[in-house]
Chain A
Amino acid sequence: MSSSGWLQLGVLVGLIALSAPLVGAYLARVFGGGTAPGDRVFGPIERLCYRAAGIDEQGEQTWRVYAGSLLIFSAVSVAAVYLLMRLQGSLPFNPSHAVSAGPALAFNTAVSFVTNTNWQNYAGETGASHLTQMAGLAVQNFLSAAVGIAVAVALIRGLTRRKSDTIGNFWVDLVRTTVRVLIPIAFVLAIVLASQGVVQNLHGFTHAHTVAGATQSIPGGQVASQEAIKELGTNGGGFYNANSAHPFENPTALTNLLEIWALLVIPFSLAFAFGRLVGNRRQGWTIFAAMFLLWIGSVGVATHYELAGNPRIQAIGVVGSNMEGKEVRFGAPASALFAASTTDTSTGAVNSSHDSFTPLAGGVVVANMLLGEVSPGGTGSGLYGMLVFAILTVFLAGLMVGRTPEYLGKKVQALEMKLIVLYLLVVPLVILGLAGASVVLSGPRSALLNHGSHGLTEMVYAFTSAANNNGSAFGGIGANTNWFNATLAIAMLAGRFLLMILVLALAGALARKQTVPESSGTFPTATPLFAVLLVAVIVVVVLLTYAPVLALGPILEHLSL
């Protein structure tokens, strides 16, 4: 790797090492129940929200009520975005004359943004009006991220409370996350991005005549503000179709690095917040370590294969790394780093074409998502996914110390295992079921632009991305058909809300339990050994489910080179 590649990775790791513990400490204060920094500024805003919405700030909810509130809120959100998409043609703030979307596309898009997936079956420049972008998509960029964090915080409460029926208040968690965490950080980030050349205006297309005599249509838009929360909230839905490869979204190497940092920072810092909230920072470090190991490992493999390039192309005399589908201003290392990070988190923003990656680098980005988005995963969803795996790991290996397995003093028994088993089942069922159907049904199969193992990877990638709420597209599928709009929406909904309900039920079950005090006979879960074990369990238990598909897809393609 070139020295600039190393420098970039080094700076990024340094930035995360500095910022994640700090942000984590702040998050712990925000959700800890006591006073938090900035109470004087944020307090009045929050109280205004509570009063306007009639929320009892002190009111605690059982897991059922919590989950019910979340589902109602999300259903209303889907309806709002759906209506905006359907009616945008006749609504104001539409300088580029985007037409109203059909029902399948509008539903797919609404579900996509509410589930924090941001799979885009429309092109940003022409498919969404400024009103839809601002009042629909950008709002959901904030709120869907906040919903994810709320569920993670509820699970932490389940682990820390004893003999309690309640796990917090969804509305309070939602408001506090949005007001105290997402808006302030996104605000600063948007200004920094704008300073680097990311556009921020309300223009439609500007038509320009170039020196060579051609006509150019240059799109405008409130990109900087959207770009910030797109990364920070691990959303990934680009303002433009080209996403972060577009120079108005991601103009320089610096913005590229900042965007990668932004999509990693909250998922990583939630691990530290977790450690503080459970009263044992080493627990947080352990979760962080497991996330970090998986992330750096995937970055390493993807970068290696991208730099190695494609031997077939090299055979015809084009030496060097794999540059197909990449922006020259980023090059292979920065593209691989972005690709690994955007799939390790459930962001799905892209600065290069994943479809054009070498087979194994492409395989790594699929695998990142298949692991269930825990490395470090989406905002909130990464942490709760990782904690579910931690409980599974404790159950599998914890018996070996001769006690009923327990995590943070909570015994893992039949009810918890039921919920975890269902959690493990949902995503493979959706991915393998729907992708399997799509490759054998002639209609959906004909949407594939490639055949053979690469086509298989494209299909599996699409459903993996949807079910894990990533939203990045491998490309290579004409996915704006009724079949894909519907099945991908199902995948997104199941991967988001079925899992959230299961996690909240788990939080409720754990909160009701007595906490067993720690002793030298307790299975240690705050050690490097546990971090390694956790990684091993995730890789063995989860990846083995998909081993046949990976063998027929990326591995076969790699071996055929």
Chain B
Amino acid sequence: MTLRNQRTSLFDRRILRQAVLDSLRKLDPRLMAANPVMFVVEIGSVLVTAIAIDKPSRFAWTIAAWLWFTTIFANLAEAIAEGRGKAQAAELKKTRAITTAHRRGADGTLEDVPSGSLGLDDLVVVSAGEVIPADGEVVEGIASVDESAITGESAPVIRESGGDRSAVTGGTRVLSDEIVVRVTALPGASFLDRMIALVEGAERQKTPNEIALNILLAGLTLVFLLAVVTLQPFAVYSGARQSTIVLVALLVCLIPTTIGALLSAIGIAGMDRLVRRNVLAMSGRAVEAAGDCAVLLLDKTGTITLGNRAATAFLPLDGVSEQELAEAAQMASLADETPEGRSIVVLAKERFELREHELHGGHLVPFSAQTRMSGVDFEQRSIRKGAVEAICKLVEDGRGSVPKQLTELAGEVAQSGGTPLAVAENGRPLGIVQLKDIVKEGLAERFEHLRRMGIRTVMITGDNPLTASAIASEAGVDDFLAEAKPEDKMALIRREQAGGNLVAMTGDGTNDAPALAQADVGVAMNTGTQAAREAGNMVDLDSNPTKLIEIVEIGKQLLVTRGALTTFSISNDVAKYFAIIPAMFAGVFPELGHLNVMRLSSPESAIASAVIFNALIIVALIPLALRGVRFRAASAIAVLRRNLFIYGLGGLVAPFIGIKLIDLVVSAIGIS
């Protein structure tokens, strides 16, 4: 099972059935009280139902029924959002079976214990074919591990002691070899447990912006409650006393039920979207912070460039043909199994159709850290390729002189962000091979999108400033930090934060941990160390650093969706007033019938139509709340114009049309 491949449709039938049941269970006032807007609606429903029982009329029952629907629809939205998470959690729980662990005692003896009884810092031995019993760190050995249970990636990954790939997750399976794991998480607090709790929504806490929005919605509810309650004295004074049913109907229509009903569903769905992209956010706060980020710190290797450098050009000295150089370089690289060496062979083949030479009796000279060269020796020829300084030394040792052109070419390559390698044959330098970082495709465009959204990208690299600057300009990042040490990264984050910017970064190594913790959004790679995974507030199960950009977009989309539905909800009120006010008073003051611009057929039908519209709009917007408003990378002003047009203006106009249409149906059926 994988998270990624589980594409549950928006309204999966199983989820929907469960959600309907849940939405009724959520009518419990103790649960409803958490949402003040809908709590008011529920109280109104009870009130109107009581009146309908006392003095039954078709109108009273219609309003009562639709008020209940309004409450239930709100619960339904939340239940559907939760249901999708629960379905995923159920799958994950299957992997959380109790297994037997082989605990190694201090004297080296093995003892079989259930995985549930393991303690912190226990050492367990896991062999091929066994499931790792708990989260931990490999302290001995190396093994290939199948992590598809949590990442959905079927290719096994290597886990080894020391270094940056030492963390293992409970519930994953060792495929080969044997490792000793030090337990770092107690049962129930493991990565898998947290993941289940997260997707289930059990640990969901309201995020800062959600809290602020809730305060506003509760405040608006109070204001409208006040307006409706005080309406009665004014109505009594005017000789047009209103029934409680009508007042409740007006109140429910005015308070921001649309956003109140969908707010928590939007939040849950936002987390869900991250999970679908195999990112686990440890808190909703981090998701919101992602939307606010102004600076992204991106590691060069793996994020901006493909992991390895590749040969991109042969630069021969005067008197040497390019093909001659290419041939020599290719032969010298045959012994070089590194990706860089392979790329020289490939480039020579592409350029000059040079077949890989058979080494007729040649003797391969592998790369060594002392010589910093590799090559091949034949009877007549000795070809070497290596660092420019190393080749220069070789030439000088052979009493040759190094042509100035060689160092000049090497300088040019370095200047342009590449790495020069020199090639020599029999002590005679032939030229330079240029190695370059390969910038991932499409990145420049994505960075441009980010720039339009007001987000700066900073490339972090251990390269010298010259190389860094060349790659930075090629990739289109806004800034770079060269020769970066972990402290420098930390200092950069602190500086940006002091200036008021929120910073997002990715990291995997233990030395990234402090920076991951300091950053507002720290995305740890799942392949990274336990320390890094603990320090970050998100974990990317795919370990794809480029995903940081998607995370930012998801964060923004979450906030946009919230804002759009809030705007829509409040703009709706205008039309509802035009439906209900004339209906309330037209009996006593026929003049106010002029305000009935929708020409609704009767006062009862007008009030009922407004209430029904108010309920149906919630259902109509559930898919939007779960999917999120379409988000395009553009400047704030462009995004604002578009959304204001759709949700602000749309929110003003839509209910006029909707209420009129419902009125046509209601009056055709007959209500009073």
Contacts and interface: CB of A to CB of B under 8 A. Distances in A.
A526 B566 CA distance: 22
A453 B234 CA distance: 10
Given A428-B223, A439-B234, A548-B231, A401 B639 contact: yes
Interface string A359-403: 000000000000000000000000000000000100111111111
B500 A514 contact: yes
Interface in B443-471: 451-456
Nearest to A518: B454
B373 interface: no
A360 to B, nearest CB: 13
Contacts of B455: 519, 521
Contacts of A402: 291, 453, 555-557, 559-560, 631, 636, 639
B65 interface: no
Contacts of A403: 291-292, 556, 559, 636
16 contacts: A395-B213, A399-B209, A399-B560, A399-B566, A402-B453, A404-B291, A433-B226, A436-B233, A439-B234, A456-B237, A519-B456, A529-B637, A529-B640, A540-B574, A548-B228, A559-B592
Given A399-B559, A399-B560, A402-B453, A524 B637 contact: yes
Interface string A404-448: 110001001110111011101100110011011101100001000
Contacts of A439: 233-234, 236-237
Interface string B543-570: 0000000000001110110111011001
Contacts of B228: 548
Contact of B564 (A400, A425, A440, A456): A400
Interface in B220-246: 220, 222-224, 226-228, 230-238, 240
A216 interface: no
Given A400-B564, A524-B636, A559-B594, A515 B500 contact: yes
Interface of B: 208-209, 211-213, 215-216, 218-220, 222-224, 226-228, 230-238, 240, 254, 288, 291-292, 294, 451-456, 499-502, 555-557, 559-560, 562-564, 566-567, 570-571, 573-574, 577, 581, 584-585, 589, 591-592, 594-595, 631, 635-637, 639-641, 643-644, 647-648
Contacts of B557: 402
Nearest to A558: B591
Contacts of A436: 230, 232-234
Nearest to A517: B500
A342 B225 CA distance: 31
A250 to B, nearest CB: 35
Nearest to B242: A548
B585 A414 contact: no
A400 B639 contact: yes
A551 B209 contact: no
Contact of B294 (A418, A437, A455, A517): A517
Nearest to A559: B591
A84 interface: no
The main secondary structure of chain B at its interface with chain A is helix
The main secondary structure of chain A at its interface with chain B is helix
B636 A521 contact: yes
Interface string A536-561: 10001100111111011001100110
B212 A417 contact: yes
Interface in A235-270: none
B581 A529 contact: no
A201 interface: no
A527 B557 CA distance: 24
B292 A404 contact: yes
Contact of B454 (A452, A522, A533): A522
Contacts of A420: 216, 219
Nearest to B561: A399
Contacts of B238: 452-453, 456, 552, 556
A521 B556 CA distance: 10
Contacts of A523: 636, 640
A516 interface: yes
Contact of B219 (A404, A425, A453, A514): A425
Interface in A140-172: 162
A475 to B, nearest CB: 19
A533 B643 CA distance: 13
A424 B223 CA distance: 8
A452 B585 CA distance: 14
A417 B595 CA distance: 34
A545 B219 CA distance: 12
Contacts, number: 214
Given A521-B455, A555-B592, A559-B592, A400 B640 contact: yes
Contacts of A455: 237
Contacts of A424: 219, 223
A59 to B, nearest CB: 28
A4 interface: no
Nearest to A397: B567
A409 B208 contact: no
B641 A529 contact: yes
Contacts of A516: 292, 294, 500-502
B395 to A, nearest CB: 53
B55 to A, nearest CB: 24
Contact of A517 (B501, B567, B571): B501
Could you say which of A401, A429, A519 has the most chain B C-beta atoms within 10 Å of its C-beta? A401
A235 B456 CA distance: 50
A437 B233 contact: yes
A520 B215 contact: no
Contact of A551 (B213, B232, B564, B581): B581
Contact of A421 (B218, B233, B288, B556): B218
A387 B231 CA distance: 29
A-B pairs with lowest CB-CB distance, top 9: A521-B454, A399-B563, A421-B219, A402-B556, A519-B454, A559-B591, A436-B233, A400-B563, A432-B230
A181 B219 CA distance: 38
A397 B648 CA distance: 9
A413 B644 CA distance: 22
A529 B294 CA distance: 24
B237 A445 contact: yes
Nearest to A523: B636
B177 to A, nearest CB: 47
A376 to B, nearest CB: 24
Nearest to A550: B581
Contacts of B232: 436
B226 A395 contact: no
Given A517-B499, A545-B226, 9 more contacts: A399-B563, A424-B223, A428-B223, A432-B227, A436-B230, A439-B234, A520-B453, A540-B573, A540-B574
A34 to B, nearest CB: 24
A413 B573 contact: no
Could you say which of B228, B555, B641, B648 has the most chain A C-beta atoms within 10 Å of its C-beta? B648
A546 B220 CA distance: 13
Given A396-B563, A424-B219, A517-B501, A552 B636 contact: no
